[in-house]
């Protein structure tokens, strides 16, 4: 399923968590379900709520047109040098094909 809107992004993450029975653990995370609670602008231009990096700085969720530099993609692929692979209580984790769909949406400029 191609991701063509912010709503698709929210559905994509929620469906994965629901399918794996993982949704109940999200409230124990520092960031909660930020993909549902943030506005489109906050999600695409803002920082992840409740989380700082190892230098105590805020962390951008993503960078439009640059999935490789987007923390969201790094954490789902398990390639972040700062954060654990998400969801932090996985497996299961998103597979590479699933993450690629989200990366394509970011690389195309995060269509609203
Ligand atoms: C920019 C993206 C994200 C960052 C920086 C981030 C960071 C973190 C951090 C620091 C924790 C605390 C536990 C730990 O350090 O391992 C955590 C927990 C968690 N995260 Fe994330 N996260 C991100 C995105 C996501 C996404 C998209 C999901 C869902 C697919 C997710 C699911 C979870 C869950 C379920 C926990 C709690 C696990 C538990 O307490 O049992 N995170 N996250």
| Torsion sign over Cα 48, 51, 52, 54 | negative
CA 6 → CA 12, 15, 56, 82, 89, distances in Å?
10, 14, 28, 26, 25
Atom of ligand 1 nearest to the CA of 84: 16
Would you say 82 and 54 are in contact if contact means Cβ atoms under 8 Å apart?
A: yes
In the reported structure, the alpha carbon of residue 15 is separated from the centroid of ligand 1 by a whole-number distance in angstroms of 16
C-beta 51 within 6 A of ligand 1 = yes
Confidence of residue 50 (pLDDT cuts 50, 70, 90): very high
Confidence of residue 65 (pLDDT cuts 50, 70, 90): very high
Question: What's this model's pTM, rounded to 2 decimal places?
Answer: 0.96
CA 1 → CA 62, 88, 100, distances in Å?
21, 24, 11
C-beta 71 within 6 A of ligand 1 = yes
Phi, psi of 47 (to 5 degrees): -100, 155
Structure tokens at 104: 């394509």
| Torsion sign over Cα 85, 69, 72, 61 | positive
Confidence of residue 24 (pLDDT cuts 50, 70, 90): confident
The structural domains of the chain, with segments of one domain joined by +, span: 6-107
C-beta 60 within 6 A of ligand 1 = no
Q: What is the pLDDT of residues 1-23, one digit of tens each?
A: 699 999 999 999 999 999 998 88
């Amino acid at each position: 399923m191609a991701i063509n809107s912010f709503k698709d992004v929210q559905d994509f993450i929620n469906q994965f968590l629901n399918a794996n029975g993982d949704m109940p653990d999200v409230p124990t995370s520092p960031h909660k379900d930020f993909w549902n609670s943030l506005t489109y602008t906050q999600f695409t231009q803002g920082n992840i709520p409740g989380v700082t990096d190892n230098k105590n700085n805020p962390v951008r969720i993503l960078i439009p047109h640059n999935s490789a530099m987007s923390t969201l993609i790094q954490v789902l692929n398990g390639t972040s040098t700062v954060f654990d692979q998400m969801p932090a209580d996985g497996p299961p984790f998103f597979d590479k094909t699933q993450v690629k769909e989200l990366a394509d949406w970011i690389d195309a400029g995060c269509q609203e």
